[in-house]
Amino acid sequence: MTTVGDQIRLFTGSSNPELAEGISKILKKDLGQLVLGRFKDGETRVMFKDTVRGRDVFIIQSTCPPVNENLMELLLTIDAAKRASAGHITAVIPYFGYARQDRKDAPRVPISAKLVADLITTAGAERVLAMDLHVDQIQGFFNIPVDHIFSRPVMHRYFQSHSKKLNMLIVSPDAGGVERSRLLAERLGVPLAIIDKRRTGPNQSEVMHIVGDVKGFDAILFDDIVDTGGTVVKASEALMKAGARSIRVACTHPVFSGEAPRILQESVLAEVVATDTIPVPPERRFKKLTVVSIANLFAEAIRRIHEHRSFQGLLE
């Protein structure tokens, strides 16, 4: 791949520097120098050490846990770039936090995803690049362009390499993920099943029944987020009772809150495949976890944005 032009500047926040390093190596463009720290009272401190005047600035920052600190760091970095006369500012957000609060599902609650979108726009971002937003309509929460890319091509390559060993079937863990799962199933040329579940509270759900024949298949639950692990473990147990030969999980965003690593390791799951939109520190990794990188996808997306080229073909 050719080197991107001198007008581009890549910077990373503190949420996922390993992914940013991977992107920079693919683009053959060093990360810019950005001072990130805390004042004595705990307030976030941000300062660019490199000039960004007139440059095409890309700020790479997942708003993963600690969500509020990473979000504030992103907002201040965008504001600093704007005030330093950056030519164009793109917020590269591999994992968009607060995405699950996308509507009023109870009285007197906020639509947090919309508020965060407004904050990013107000801070000065002129474009957002994100992966596997929890729901597609979040793109409409922004008043600036949103380039929405997907982990599907990476998952397709990974499982295609295992196709000779597995009698694969893709499973959507809920009705909302059917389109995501169907596209992966079509690419792999395998059947699709759907789990009908009822959400009983935050991070809680109950499997009702399975739509489709899973008997004898190596089922792959394809979801955007694995948080506490409870939902996918219940789904995997239901699939095993229905006759599935083995169960795997493919997820884009490994939030892995609380006891999730232990719960997933001790479950009937054969493997958990996740991307690196969120870093999983060594102490929270487990034997069943496989991490695949999406650095190539983000690098190519950044290149196309910078060169004003179409995304056609990138998503597949």
Q: Which residues are catalytic?
A: 197
Contacts of 75 (CB under 8 A, 6+ apart): 119, 120, 123
- With contact defined as beta carbons under 8 Å apart, do 248 and 222 qualify? no
Residue type at 183 in one-letter notation = L
CA 9 – CA 6 distance, rounded (Å)? 8
CA 231 – CA 249 distance, rounded (Å)? 11
Cα 223–226–231 angle (5° rounding)? 85
Sheet order of strands, 8-12 included: 8-12, 56-60, 88-93, 127-131, 146-149
CA 255 – CA 16 distance, rounded (Å)? 13
Length of the chain: 316
- With contact defined as beta carbons under 8 Å apart, do 98 and 112 qualify? yes
Pairing status of strand 34-38 against strand 44-48: antiparallel
In angstroms, how far is CA 300 from the centroid of its own chain?
Answer: 16
Q: How crowded is the C-beta side of 136, counted as CA atoms within 13 Å? A: 7
Locate 87 and state its tokens.
């030519």
CA 309 – CA 301 distance, rounded (Å)? 9
Helices (H), 1-66: 17-27
